[in-house]
Amino acid sequence: MSICSCQNKKFDKLREIIAEKKGTAGALIPVMHEAQELFGHLPIHVQSFIAEALEVPMADVYGVATFYSAFTLEAKGTYSIHVCLGTACYVKGAQAIVDKLAELLHIKVGETTEDGLFTLEATRCIGACGLAPVLTVNNEVYSQVSVEQIDGIVHKYMEMAWKDEEDGNSSTNS
């Protein structure tokens, strides 16, 4: 597998991060967080690099990556849509919201659209029970969401992506 120069720069930065943290207790998780910020996710070759550089078993890195929900092994879309399925949100119709998003985006929970624009995730309680049902798009919170609002929310982000594209900005993760 050939790695482009942008990937080489990311690995150079990861080497610096690891050199700074190596030998300190509990270095694995902070290194993994910074690696995910750099790469957008933790593919197996990045995990392997971390394991080798920190001199820890690959099984430990993979175990952490798959145990904690903060880590992802798959590339995420530019816009991550998280629908709360905690009790309050679920009772107020969150599953119908998930179903509508899946239908509209032509993806299942945990998947990313082919264009790399949206990732759909179902989450546990996000602590906004009084605002149920709740969904977030990246860091923007939508409260008391109805199925009827879903088209408008999704189209808002599509338009933002199109505008970025027209302005010459990339709307997908690299």
Write down the domain spans for the chain. Answer: 5-67, 79-166
**Which of 46, 45, 44, 36 shows the shortest CA–CA distance to 80?**
36
For 95-138, write each residue's pLDDT tens digit: 999 999 999 999 999 999 999 899 999 998 889 999 999 999 99
Q: Is 125 annotated as a binding residue?
A: yes
The CA-atom distances, in angstroms, between 40 and each of 77, 133, 148 are 9, 28, 31
Confidence bin at 3 (pLDDT 50/70/90)? low
Average pLDDT taken over every residue of the chain: 90
* Structure tokens that stand for 113 in this block: 């659209």
Confidence at residue 6, expressed as pLDDT on a 0 to 100 scale:
65
For 149-154, what is the mean pLDDT?
97
Q: Is 4 annotated as a binding residue?
A: no
Confidence at residue 76, expressed as pLDDT on a 0 to 100 scale:
85
- 76-85, 126-135, 147-156, 163-172: least confidently modelled range: 163-172
Confidence at residue 170, expressed as pLDDT on a 0 to 100 scale:
54
Residue 81 φ/ψ, nearest 5 degrees: -100, 120
C-alpha 32: how far from its chain's center? 14
Are 104 and 154 in contact by the 8 Å Cβ rule? The answer is yes
Residue 157 carries which side chain, given as an amino acid letter? Y
Using CB atoms within 10 A of its CB, is residue 43 exposed (0-12), middle (13-18) or buried (19+)?
A: middle
What superfamily in CATH does domain 79-166 come from? Glutaredoxin (3.40.30.10)
Residue 172 pLDDT > 50? no
Q: Is 6 annotated as a binding residue?
A: no
Percent of the chain's residues with pLDDT above 70: 93
Residue with tokens 């942008």: 6
